[in-house]
Chains A and B, each alone.
Chain A
Amino acid sequence: MNALSLRQLNKTYDGGVVALKDVDLEVTPGDFYGLLGPNGAGKTTIIGIVTSLVRPTSGQVSVFGHDIITSPWEAKSNLGLVPQEFNFNQFETVSQIVLNQAGFYGVDRATAERRAEQYLRELDLWDKRNVNSRTLSGGMKRRLMIARALIHEPRLLILDEPTAGVDIELRRSMWTFLRDLNERGTTIILTTHYLEEAETLCRNIGIIDGGEIIENTDTRSLLAKLKSQSFLLDISTPLSEMPTLDNFTVTPVDERTIEVEVRGNQTLTDLFDQLNKSGVSVTSMKNKSNRLEELFIRTLGRSKPTQEVS
């Protein structure tokens, strides 16, 4: 039984815009799944259909084996949503928002209060529990939406760009929180524009473009499809001339930095052996671009042009 199962999902909006075309997708229990795609690819439409905010034109959706149409209580109780945009009552306090949401899921008051304290503490919002939500910072509002989505303890949590617009420190702490949550057994589906985020967190990745899933595999296999990677190497002393390395393409960036292209059949060990023999001492290195970003652009470059859908 999959955590999420989409079968032959189609969505055509009023006006004829086709947002999804025969989408099939399975997310296994315990997975940390990344759904990637450019703006208008259909990610938000998929999330909207799964969470009942968008009506599908055709197709089936089930959450842990429960069809969202025929068994909505069971399906929705297993599902938590952190939407892209703030959608809580700006005139209510943090506690009221979280406790009301618990009530809508049929969670009794005592349990709701205990869980509210747990999640608000974990997300550093406990001190703000009696504060009006509209006075919170952007990062706090994002964390509030996570606490609200967890209050009924769903087995599947969907996050639609949860770290958009938050600073690096907060983003990292949210990653840690989500990773812990996943290790405790919650299946997580994440959409993000930060490909570093997807590469760091997700075990499996799907790429959607033009309403179709064009790639769906584990992150490691996806990254293995990269035929070459470019690395930037900082060197300890300025080079008078470029080192000659067998089978590696070396390009100078500045007097203390070189760029080296490493192809799929080559190893970094071989690269460093040759640099060592040439008397070049490397002080640090990094990927020239995020690997997933590179792959993402290449994959989309092969797919059809996208349509303007929301």
Chain B
Amino acid sequence: MAGFYPAYPRQTLIALRTLVWKETHRYLRIWLQTLVPPAITMTLYFVIFGSLIGSRVGPMDGFSFMEFIAPGIIMMSVITNAYTNVVSSFFGAKFQRHIEELLVSPTPNYVILAGYVAGGVGRGLFTGLIVTIIATFFADLQIHSIPITISVVFLTAVLFSLGGFINGVFARKFDDIAIVPTFILTPLTYLGGVFYSLSMLPDFWARLSMANPILYMVNAFRYGILGQSDIPLATAYLLILGFITAGTFFSLWLLRHGTGLRS
């Protein structure tokens, strides 16, 4: 594969470490924009939907409404932040043209991709951890399976970081980086079973919901924490891994062809 330099593993590792640190430093430097807002928003979700409205909703699938929505809200923050971090950072680098620092350097394409994805995963997981800590003030969360919880949240963060990267490659103006999160990601997340169980929906809508990939991630994560899911766990893993594989190859192809980067 073009762009693969096994002859220089030490230098390649230094390049990767540099990019990962640069990306991590970016979202930590602007923590007031990146880490605080999701904490406030998700706290409001817990207060309004969990405490105020949730107390009148009653139990769902055998759990209190607060316990039921907590995994979905955590996952929602992970998805949004992983995606947003990569798309805004990568497009910002294109806009200011400092992406050229990377493009003129010998940094291989897979390192560029891995560095940006690592930044997105880092911010997604960091935010997820903050929201999880907040959730413990509202619900008694007993983790059913640590390996499943961690693997699902990690793979989901990887997947949406890749999504953000692809969006960033194609984006030509700032509007382009807001369209996908606003018109696709947010609706799919809200309709992905964050606030309700699939069993509550009429048959037609329940079947339609099965086409929403975020439903699988939210439910797999909910299984990791509560031990309860509307969908088979294996299907969720296959779906996530399938999207990650496709997203990785597509991203590398875009970098190799210089789409949106090289004239």
Please report A residues at the B interface, Cβ cutoff 8 Å. 13-14, 48, 51-55, 72-73, 76-77, 79, 81, 83, 85-91, 96, 100-108, 148
Q: Is the CB of B103 within 8 A of A53?
A: yes
B7 to chain A, nearest CB (A): 7
CA distance A13 to B262 in the complex (A): 11
Partner of A83, one of B96, B100, B258: B100
* A-B interface, 8 closest residue pairs, ranked by CB to CB distance from nearest: A106-B11, A103-B18, A104-B105, A87-B97, A76-B106, A73-B106, A89-B98, A51-B104
- 9 additional contacts (CB under 8 A) given A14-B263, A76-B106, A104-B19: A48-B263, A72-B3, A73-B11, A79-B104, A87-B101, A103-B15, A103-B17, A104-B15, A106-B14
Partner of A88, one of B101, B105, B258: B101
Q: Is the CB of A54 within 8 A of B10?
A: no
Q: Is the CB of B96 within 8 A of A106?
A: no
CA distance A123 to B10 in the complex (A): 30
Q: Is B44 an interface residue (CB 8 A)?
A: no
B16 closest partner in A (C-beta): A103
B210-263 CB contacts (< 8 Å) to partner A? 258, 262-263
Q: Is the CB of A13 within 8 A of B8?
A: no
CA distance A148 to B3 in the complex (A): 23
Q: Is the CB of B98 within 8 A of A88?
A: yes
CA distance A77 to B15 in the complex (A): 13
Residues of A within 8 A of B107 (CB): 104
Q: Is the CB of B14 within 8 A of A103?
A: yes
CA distance A278 to B98 in the complex (A): 64
Q: Is the CB of A105 within 8 A of B11?
A: yes
Q: Is the CB of B262 within 8 A of A72?
A: no
Residues of A within 8 A of B100 (CB): 53, 83, 87
Partner of A104, one of B5, B18, B29: B18
CA distance A96 to B5 in the complex (A): 26
Residues of B within 8 A of A81 (CB): 104
B254 to chain A, nearest CB (A): 14
Q: Is B173 an interface residue (CB 8 A)?
A: no
CA distance A76 to B5 in the complex (A): 13
Q: Is B22 an interface residue (CB 8 A)?
A: yes
Given the interface pairs A53-B104, A73-B106, the reply to whether A106 lies near B97 with Cβ below 8 Å is: no
Among B98, B102, B103, B104, the one with the most A-chain Cβ atoms within 10 Å of its Cβ is B104
Residues of B within 8 A of A104 (CB): 15, 18-19, 101-102, 105-107
> Can you sample 9 A-B contacts with CB below 8 Å?
A53-B104, A55-B262, A72-B5, A73-B5, A86-B97, A100-B101, A103-B17, A107-B11, A108-B14
CA distance A52 to B106 in the complex (A): 10
